[in-house]
Amino acid sequence: MADTADRAPTRPFSHLDQSGRARMVDVSAKPVTRRVAEASCRVALSAATTARLAELPKGDALAVARLAGIQGAKRAGELVPLAHPLPLDQVEIEIEPAPGGVTIRSRVVTTARTGAEIEALTACATAALALYDMVKAVERGAVITDLQLDAKSGGASGDYRRGGPAGA
Whole-number Å distance between alpha carbons of 76 and 98: 27
Q: Are 142 and 43 in contact (CB under 8 A)?
A: yes
How many other C-beta atoms are found inside a 10 Å radius of the C-beta of residue 124? 31
Please tell me the distance from the alpha carbon of residue 13 to that of residue 71, in angstroms, as a whole number. Answer: 28
Q: Let me know: does 92 contact 38? Beta carbons within 8 Å.
A: no
Task: Determine the Cα–Cα distance for residues 127 and 136; give it in Å rounded to an integer.
Answer: 14
- For residue 3, indicate whether it is catalytic: no
**8-state DSSP, 32:** P
Given 3, 17, 133, 150, the catalytic residue:
133
Q: Tell me which residues are annotated as active site.
A: 133
